[in-house]
Amino acid sequence: MSTLLCRISTDHAMGSLLRPILRRAVPFLTALLALCGISAAAPAESWQPLFDGTSLAGWKVQSKPADQAKTYWRVEDGTILVDSLGDGDHDYVWLQSEREFGDFELRLKFQAYRDSPGNSGVQFRSRYDATAGWLDGPQVDIHPRGPWRSGLIYDETRGVQKWVSPSLAKVSDAKPEMAPANLVFRYSEDTPAWNDLLLTVRGTQVRVELNGLLIREWEGAGVLDDAIHRQRNVGLRGHLALQLHKGDRLKMRFKDISVRELPAAGRPNLLFILTEDQGAQLGFVGTPGVQTPHMDALARSGVYFNRAFVVYPVCSASKAAIYTGLHNHTNGILNNTLNLPKPASELTAAERNHVLFRTNRIQDSVPTWVERLQTAGYYQGVTSKLHVLPNEKFPYEEFIRKPNHAAVAGFIERARKAGKPWHLFYNLGQSHRPYPNSDKVRIRVDPAAVKLPGFLPETPVTRKDWAEYLAAIEETDGLLGEGLAALRESGEEAKTLVIFLGDHGPTFPHGKMTLYDLGLRTPLIIRGPGLPAGQRTDALTSTLDLAPTILDLLGLEPLPRSHGQSLKPVLTGAPAIAGRDFVFAEISHRGPLPNAGLQERSVCDGRWKLIYREKLTPPWRQVQADSKQWETWGNRSYADIVANKSQFPEPYRILTEMDPQSLGGSLLSLELYNLETDPDELNNLAAETRHRPELVHLHAALRRWVNETGDPAVQPAPL
């Protein structure tokens, strides 16, 4: 069936018609085949080789220091050979996978030798403690001397160290009668000479097959997830490893090692709610004039992050950082790119040839967590927009046009019928301009009740504009409520991780496409199974932290590279994230690198912020159309500030810095702000001698960050 879908996708017209039908038919046909006694085999591409037949790439030898110079594990004749026949003077020596796994199937072949007195095993969901020189975790035994022990499960975790399947008090309690009567175990001189091992681990269930025969089927609840295993961080997730036991004289070969990750019935769903152009303005934090009952209720049911910042204050670039966990000069998207909300197979030649599709896209070598969830078996959908490229990195099953109650309810039901955990990226665009036009429609927000930031003029027109922005947030709150109601009614709320975030701030001066707080600071709420409720944290947080957090909380392997750190320690009550002393942000005004345009970078430690600029001449900034146009985008403030520049010179000066090419503004290379005493960032302290220490401190942090992340576009010289 997978082949059929693939072939049909090559015919664009027919594929568009039949693909949705086939997607819904596959689960039914699979069930029908099962009833007939025919299994629907997993697609071959889901299996990933762990051994390339030529090297130990992807593996690491773990041992105590005394054994590190010895070579017990090597590649020979396309196999992994462990050979200690001539040397019993060693402790445990493991060959451990670099990758970690949660739920998976592992298959491998091993060859045993009759003259080998030692035994081996396959550890899983294990973790090495270098201080103790020990690999904690359960293992499947491989025992040439006593082949009847092969396939039994022994737990090597310190504090346990006993047979767990069958459950026995002592190693010697394992007896030949515990093995199946028809057990087959092969040696090197036999034909065939190789044994096939299949290990399936899902949740707390472990299944071991040897040469096609079921050896053990064990429910490990109460063991794999007990306090000892949680303390060692093993049992539910960890590394694979091949064993050489202490003092053993062993010879054994392994080959054809491959693994596939499995979707877990108990794995949480993910509802990621992203509001467009919404800064940290909502009722929960006390924003005057706005009412957001659904956002407030969500915040009370989870953890609210008081100091959450995006890393690039425009839609596409912000999303790219969220999806990859990498800064934009690394992931490849700078400024906005095309919005093509459809499967990659449906893109036209013209779309693929568009200059933005070719130049402003996530690099091919950079994975997204949407790809990781696909590999783990998640059913995935996105509403409204995609607005990131290339589409191949966003393998959503569904692209849903309108976000509302019906859309969420229908999506969850289709995921349930598919028998998969799900991820819905619930993109809400109502907080993006154009806002509700209060000249034509009634809004609840009273302009007289709002409080304007200090960088906006106190005029009726700008008050109306800000009130309409808050009214747009209230509309967004209504759709948020619809989505959460659908989740609650589905019965899956208790097993769903919910993340709520604004992608960046609104289109006002000091907002979108600027590195001031209105552009960078957004609401962030995380709620989920086992996480606390009704808490607020001051932990300094970057949206780069969301990719590792999502994968951590879903029990999936992290992306190979990340500029972020998992927020799980914060969410579970541990101290704030180690090393998150600063958050950084950037803007490349001419877009994809390299270019000769203005470059802006910022670093903030929560109290102090430094903005750094290069290539100030000519003074040109990327000004989004919705930051100035009335006709299309309903922006009242831009023209109002220009019209009242004599009465309000400071807001006008700030506007000229936002749009220097139109208004003749000039930009500074350094700006320093104390966010505690100057939250609107009006008083630049960069030139003040008494604040030189703060300037030097942040500037040094910025220079380190430029070097560590390989930022190619700026070269800040020492102060």
Strands (E), 644-693: 670-674
Q: Look at residue 575 in the predicted model and tell me its pLDDT.
A: 52
E strands present in 159-232? 162-165, 195-202, 205-210, 213-219
Distances (CA, A) of 624 to 23, 356, 389, 655: 39, 16, 20, 13
How far apart CA 166 and CA 216 sit, in angstroms, is 8
The DSSP-derived string for 326-381 is S-HHHHS--S------S-GGG--HHHHHSHHHHHSS--TT---HHHHHHHTT-EEE
**Domains and their CATH numbers in the chain:** 2-41 (no CATH), 48-261 (2.60.120.560), 269-364+385-391+404-575 (3.40.720.10), 588-709 (no CATH)
CA dist 337 and 312 (Å) reads 13
Identify the band that residue 74 occupies on the pLDDT scale cut at 50, 70 and 90. very high
Q: Report whether 563 contacts 324 (CB < 8 A).
A: no
Per-residue confidence (pLDDT) for residue 23, from 0 to 100:
39
Please report the pLDDT score of residue 266 as a whole number: 66
679-690: average pLDDT = 98
pLDDT at 231: 82
Q: Which residues pair with 584 in a beta bridge?
A: 603
Tracing tokens 């090393």 back to the chain, one arrives at 579
pLDDT, residue 32, reads 39
| Residue 318: alpha-carbon gap to chain centroid | 14
Burial of 124 (0-12, 13-18, 19+ CB in 10 A): buried
Question: What does the pLDDT look like over 154-195, one tens digit per residue?
Answer: 999 999 999 999 999 898 899 999 889 999 999 999 999 999
3-class SS of residue 248: coil
| DSSP per-residue codes, 215-228 | EEEEE-TTTTTSHH
Measured from the Cβ of residue 265, the count of other Cβ atoms closer than 10 Å reads 13
Residue 641: is its pLDDT beyond 80? yes
Q: How much is the pTM?
A: 0.69
Dihedral of the alpha carbons of 410, 412, 416, 419, in degrees to the nearest 10: 120
**Is the bond into 268 cis (omega within 30 degrees of 0)?**
no
Q: Are 14 and 8 in contact (CB under 8 A)?
A: yes
- Ramachandran angles phi, psi of 6, nearest 5°: -65, -45
102 backbone φψ class: left, alpha, beta (φ>0; ψ -120 to 50): alpha
What's the token pair of residue 556?
């999936």
Render pLDDT for 2-15 as a digit per residue (tens, 0 to 9): 333 332 233 333 33
Task: Tell me the C-alpha distance between 385 and 391, whole Å.
Answer: 12
Q: DSSP string covering 429-442, please? A: -TTSSSPP-TTTS-
Q: What is the pLDDT of residues 623-636, one digit of tens each?
A: 999 999 999 999 99
Q: Identify whether the C-beta of residue 293 lies closer than 8 Å to the C-beta of residue 536.
A: no
Beta-carbon neighbour count of residue 646 at 10 Å? 7
Residue linked to tokens 């130049």: 359
Tens digit of pLDDT for each residue in 432-480? 999 999 999 999 999 999 999 999 999 999 999 999 999 999 999 999 9
Cα(697)–Cα(276) distance, rounded to whole angstroms?
33
What per-residue confidence (pLDDT) applies to 1?
34
What would the pLDDT profile of 267-299 be if each residue is shown by its tens digit?
899 999 999 999 999 999 999 999 999 999 999
Q: Which residues contact 713 (CB under 8 A, 6 or more apart)?
A: 329, 588, 593, 594, 595, 599, 614
pLDDT of residue 578: 52
Identify the CA nearest to 557 among candidates 376, 341, 430.
376
Cβ contacts of 70 within 8 Å, gap of 6 or more: 63, 87, 90, 93
pLDDT on residue 577: 53
**One-character DSSP codes across 94-126:** EEEEEEEESSEEEEEEEEE-TT----EEEEEEE
Q: Which of 165-174, 661-670, 683-692 is predicted with the least confidence, judged by mean pLDDT?
A: 165-174
